[in-house]
Amino acid sequence: MMKYPMLLLSIRLLLCLPAAVWMLAAADVPPAMHRPGCRTRCGDVDIPYPFGIGDQCAMNRGFNISCKVVNGIARPFTGSFEVTKISVAHAKAWMKANISWQCHDPKARQKKGSQHQERFSYRPFRFSYVDNKIVVIGCTDASIWGLSGDGRVSTSCRSACLGAEEPKNGLCSGAGCCEADVPKDLEAYGAFFSTDIVNSSTTRNHSPCSYMVVIEKTAFNYSTTYISSTTFSDAYGGRVPVVTDWAIRPYTCEVVASRKNLSSYACISDNSKCADSTNGQGYHCKCLDGYEGNPYVKDGCKDIDECLDNTKYPCTGVCQNTPGNFTCSCPPGKQMISGVCKANQKSSSWVMPVVGASAGAIVFVITIACAYLIKERRKPQQHIKERYFRQHGGLLLFEEIKSQQGVAFKIFSEEELQEATGKFNKKRVVGHGGHGNVYKGLLEGNVEVAIKRCKVVDEHHKKEFGKEMLILSQINHKNIVKLLGCCLEVEVPMLVYEFVPNGTLFDLIHGNHGGHISLATRLQIAHQSAEALAYLHSWASPPILHGHVKSSNILIDCDYTVKVSDFSDSILAPTDESQFAKFVLGTYGYLDPEYICRCQLTDKSDVYSFGVVLLELLTRKKPFNLEGPEDKRSLASRFISVMKEDKLEEILDDQIKNDENIEVLEEIAELAKQCLDMRGANRPSMKEISERLDMLRKVMQHPWAQQDPEQMESLLGESSMAISEVVNTGNLSIEKEATDSLESGR
């Protein structure tokens, strides 16, 4: 318990200096105006004023947003928090926060973990006590000690898993999971776990790890699998969503009203008002009733035309918009009765027919006018679709299809793919990643397809996109997913593939909770994947570089037949240096170090990535583990280390590690080592790898050969010697350059 005062001291020291500086700046410096040259988006997140990207674009330093490129995607940050959404109307910001955790290491017989101290670099933000909750998972007693505007605060809850009550999915009430309220005005906190409960051997065996987070209420649903595994951290990608309240601090509306000449007053729009923050001392701005927009920008609050939304502002009579409001009156011959226009009882008998005829004429005129407006509105949309179609090489592709008889490739319209996916319903998503989502679609005739909807397309490829898609569609190999067509009339083209129903190699290796996968099956998967890549490199015309080889892009059919997929990053093999890819793409753990250094995608880049896939099959470990020690986060680096120390058995999967398999496993490991050579020139080709794996499969089918070294050498043939000759421990300068690049990227 002596740790807690130290925590409070460290939090207060970390918090006080930037807070004091901010308060001085906020008190005397007038807010920066929203400048026309300032960016209003970072990636797919809107950045509304008073926030801004850079000090010159934000109201003040506290509202500065940093736009950083992470894994090729632009993402906004405030301090160490990634921002996912900002709302001016509700004065809230949605972010991602760290997960505090503690695990018992049975080998080292000690605890390890990360107990985070979360704080905001500047004063506008507070953790929302309405939208968040504190959640503790595992068998532990966890506490939060933190700071608020009123001083130090603390709260805790106890999660027990060995009591009378059984843990239940969706129920976080003390059995394996407990929750507590977030203190009001919380600006910084630290997490701690009770050592008494964690040190219990019974508890460790039942739940080796414990977690504590501040998390958005609507984003959390408890699962009993969280107790005995790391699926909780995996489900959120290592960081959890959290909601924050922001305000202009430290002034309240009363202080602002008493100091009319306060230069930093933020509500500069007409038709705006000041509202006190409900979470910590401060205020935010709101548009008056009947207005909407941004009250922090001059003329930002615009009048709402209530007459355009009859569902929200009902009017059965004649609606007329007024500044900040609207009026609803009855036409001549009617009167308002209980909010409804009704005919005057004294009206003459001829009034109704005349009114009816007039109303009919009005309806007819309105119908004609609406039809005309709809037609005119569709013209710009059609022009935009035509521009995108031409921009992506659609005309050239159309001519190529006409000139080549019998080409099984279709250009789909956007409407066809919307209908096939239920307007891209989230329930139809079967895969997703940094580049986009994959939807299951059903075309006319009940044909199942996979539709990839990408987020971005490389500018270098736009003009040649259609032509390259036609070339990819002509790939005909049993272990490569067939490209059926594409849609070019949208900003980012969509790709249509054949549908493979049984998941990915990544799911098979890492997601089936330890289900047995034999060495023969793993070797079959490796061989078929290598054959597919060898076909792309050596027999396709022109040769094709995949560019994104990883286990999640290798699909597995019902009989473990491989289907290599995802060609959205593929390029035609360059014929000279000027055609090399000059941008970095890929996934951490699979990236070729030589590619990182030189930004040149070659066929040997695919070989390196395939080597990592071989390691996944051998070890059943993920390519990159952020939660592990720094020297063990990269599976490739750890593998090279154990190979140098001749300790291969330490890293192999227990399911396939036995005396009968050891020689084949050593051959596969040696092949993987050659694929992971730091110099691409020293790596074998995919054709050589395919031949080598084919030989190893034959060895597996003839176990007698393993007992006779001469027969085994004969069966393996010359390919074994050829591959061995390319081993070269190589260029240490490139190795250091690549290692430094990976470390800086992390």
Confidence of residue 384 (pLDDT cuts 50, 70, 90): confident
- Identify the CATH assignment for 395-498 out of 1.10.10.10, 3.30.200.20, 3.40.50.620, 3.40.1190.20: 3.30.200.20
What span, in angstroms and rounded, lies between the C-alpha atoms of 491 and 387? 9
- Tell me the pLDDT tens digit for each residue of 324-356: 999 888 877 777 776 677 776 554 455 566 666
Residue 488 is predicted with a pLDDT of: 86
How far, in Å, CA of 67 to CA of 47, rounded?
Answer: 10
Top pLDDT among 626 and 97 is at 97
Whole-angstrom Cα distance, residue 65 to residue 76? 6
Are the beta carbons of 170 and 181 closer than 8 angstroms?
A: no
Higher pLDDT, 120 or 225: 225
Within 8 A by CB and 6+ apart from 577, the residues are: none
- Mean pLDDT, all residues of the chain: 78
Q: How confident is the model at residue 719 (pLDDT cuts 50, 70, 90)?
A: very low
- Mention every residue, 6+ apart, whose C-beta is less than 8 A from residue 178: 135, 136, 157, 158, 159, 172
- The pLDDT of residue 18: 40
| pLDDT for position 554 | 93
Model confidence at 5, pLDDT cuts 50, 70, 90, reads very low
Q: How high is the pLDDT of residue 237?
A: 85
For residues 35 and 538, the model is more confident at: 538
Residue 378: the pLDDT is 53
Considering 32-46, 253-267, 523-537, 688-702, the range whose residues carry the highest mean pLDDT is: 523-537
610: left (phi over 0), alpha (psi -120 to 50) or beta: alpha
Residue spans of the domains in the chain: they are: 94-246, 253-303, 395-498, 505-745
pLDDT on residue 474: 77
d(CA 628, CA 105): 12
Kindly state the percentage of the chain with pLDDT values over 70: 73
Q: Quick one: pLDDT at residue 218?
A: 92
Is the pLDDT higher at 736 or at 223? 223
Instruction: Give the alpha-carbon dihedral of 345, 349, 353, 356, to 10 degrees.
Output: -10
User: Does residue 575 register a pLDDT over 90?
Assistant: no
pLDDT of res. 24: 35
pLDDT for the residue 444: 87
Can you tell me the distance from the alpha carbon of 238 to that of 265, in angstroms, rounded to the nearest whole number?
39
Contact 601, 581 (CB under 8 A): yes
Class of domain 505-745: mainly alpha
Q: What is the pLDDT of residue 262?
A: 59
* Region 711-720 average pLDDT: 47
d(CA 560, CA 340): 68
pLDDT at 642: 92
Write the CB contacts of 73 (distance below 8 Å, at least 6 apart in sequence).
43, 434
pLDDT value of residue 206: 67
This prediction has a pTM of 0.47
Model pLDDT for residues 42-92, shown as the tens digit of each residue: 999 999 999 999 878 998 888 999 999 998 899 999 988 999 999 999 999
pLDDT at 85: 96
Q: 25 with 60: CB under 8 angstroms?
A: yes
pLDDT at position 339 is: 64
Banded pLDDT at 739 (limits 50, 70, 90): very low
Average pLDDT value for residue range 366-377: 69
The residue behind tokens 């007698």 is 704
pLDDT in tens, 389-404: 877 777 767 776 666 6
Phi-psi region of 730 (alpha: psi -120 to 50; beta: other; left: phi over 0): left
Q: What is the pLDDT of residue 417?
A: 94
Reading the block at residue 159, the tokens are: 């999660």
What's the pLDDT at 619?
Answer: 94
Q: How confident is the model at residue 363 (pLDDT cuts 50, 70, 90)?
A: confident
Residue 608 has pLDDT above 90, yes or no: yes
pLDDT tens digits, 676-706: 999 999 999 999 999 999 999 988 876 554 5
In degrees, rounded to 5, the angle at the alpha carbon of residue 618 between the alpha carbons of residues 612 and 623 is 35
**Tens digit of each residue's pLDDT (9 = 90 or more) over 487-514:** 888 888 888 988 888 888 998 898 765 6
Does 505-745 match 395-498 at the fold level? no
pLDDT digits (tens, 9 = 90+) for 424-474: 998 898 887 556 788 999 998 889 999 988 776 655 555 556 666 777 777
630/476 Cα distance (integer angstroms): 43
pLDDT score for 301: 95
